[in-house]
């Protein structure tokens, strides 16, 4: 497959009747993969969700039909079953189908369920991973999700279960076991989640960063603490889509806020962990 927008190479061809499940990354079109771009160039039908930025859809083949499966302006979002079966129908009609999702399709993206439905109906699939908001979105805020002096493990958690409440998890085990906790879809239940973490022993003054619309021109970052994060987010008008980082990783933004440096700022604090030179032994 050759396309003038892609570097020379042997790019996979999207065949009729196939569905490609593709991650679009957190927002910045520059974070698309080349496989995602290849898919956008070839697809006849692109079924995308609300988190996929218009600037990314601009890369689509001009002849492609775009179907927005996202929640818009308060209208109810289509049911997962309807989306999955729509993909089956499009594939059976012989279309080249791109299912484009924000971030990574397999990270809190229901890509697994959609892939299973397709496979169960005999539709062949290809999977293209994307940069997940919990990693790339935090990186755009200058927050490394792992750092040798902070954490040797990492927990990704969703802030709500299908009923809309904080999921029934062993929050105490998470609080004790993971120095850095990255919460997707956490804004609605942030108060509840913060309370559970503090009840399990996390300090009220533990650093928290909340990144709204990460990697987009609308990106906003709130640096706060566990006992105040929900109230401060509300006061600042920070809401979904936002990723929440609980733990000392959030402090590293004081040194690594590279976007501020691009704008000419000097690092606020090159050594926020107070450990001296970072180059190690």
Interface residue list for ligand SAH (CB under 6 A): 26-27, 51, 101-104, 107-109, 132-133, 137, 184-185, 211, 213-216, 240-243
Which of these is catalytic: 14, 69, 185, 187?
185
**Distant-in-sequence, close-in-space partners of 30: CB < 8 Å, separation ≥ 6:** none
**Distant-in-sequence, close-in-space partners of 193: CB < 8 Å, separation ≥ 6:** 159, 166, 171, 183, 186
Closest approach, Cβ 276 to ligand SAH, in A, equals: 33
Which CB sits closer to ligand SAH, 132 or 151? 132
Closest approach, Cβ 128 to ligand SAH, in A, equals: 13
Which CB sits closer to ligand SAH, 99 or 101? 101
Which CA distances in Å does 51 have to 72, 102, 142, 246?
10, 5, 22, 23
DSSP 267: P
Give CA–CA dist 24/22, Å, rounded. Answer: 6
- Catalytic residue check, 79: no
Which of these is catalytic: 3, 71, 170, 271?
71
Q: Which residue of the chain is nearest ligand SAH when measured via CB?
A: 103
Nearest residue to 203 (alpha-carbon basis) of 152, 257, 246: 246
- Catalytic residue check, 49: yes
Closest approach, Cβ 210 to ligand SAH, in A, equals: 9
Which of these is catalytic: 49, 104, 227, 257?
49
Give CA–CA dist 130/261, Å, rounded. Answer: 26
- Catalytic residue check, 185: yes
Closest approach, Cβ 13 to ligand SAH, in A, equals: 26
Nearest residue to 197 (alpha-carbon basis) of 159, 163, 239, 162: 159
Residues serving a catalytic function are: 49, 71, 185
């Amino acid at each position: 497959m050759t396309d003038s927008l892609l570097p020379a190479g042997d790019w996979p061809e999207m065949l009729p009747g196939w569905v490609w499940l593709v991650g679009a990354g957190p927002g910045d079109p520059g974070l698309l993969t080349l496989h995602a771009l290849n898919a956008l160039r070839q697809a006849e039908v692109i079924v995308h969700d609300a988190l996929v930025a218009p600037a990314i859809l601009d890369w689509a083949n001009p002849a492609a039909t775009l179907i927005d499966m996202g929640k818009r302006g308060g209208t109810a979002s289509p049911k997962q079953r309807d989306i999955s079966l729509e993909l089956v129908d499009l594939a059976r009609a012989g279309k080249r189908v791109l299912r484009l999702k924000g971030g990574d399709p397999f990270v809190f993206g229901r890509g697994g369920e959609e892939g299973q439905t397709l496979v169960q109906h005999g539709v062949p699939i290809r999977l293209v991973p994307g940069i997940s908001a919990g990693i790339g979105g935090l990186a755009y805020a200058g927050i490394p999700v792992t750092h040798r002096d902070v954490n040797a493990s990492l927990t990704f958690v969703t802030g709500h279960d299908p009923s809309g409440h904080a999921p029934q998890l062993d929050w105490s085990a998470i609080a004790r076991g993971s120095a850095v906790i990255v919460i997707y879809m956490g804004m609605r239940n942030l108060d509840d989640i913060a309370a559970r973490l503090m009840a399990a022993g996390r300090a009220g003054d533990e650093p928290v960063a909340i990144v709204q619309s990460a990697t987009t021109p609308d990106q906003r970052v709130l640096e706060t603490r566990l006992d105040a994060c929900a109230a401060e987010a509300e006061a600042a008008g920070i809401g979904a889509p936002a990723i929440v980082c609980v733990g000392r990783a959030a402090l590293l933004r004081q040194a690594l806020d590279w976007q501020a440096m691009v704008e000419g700022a000097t690092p606020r604090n090159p050594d926020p962990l107070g450990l001296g030179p970072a180059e190690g032994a």
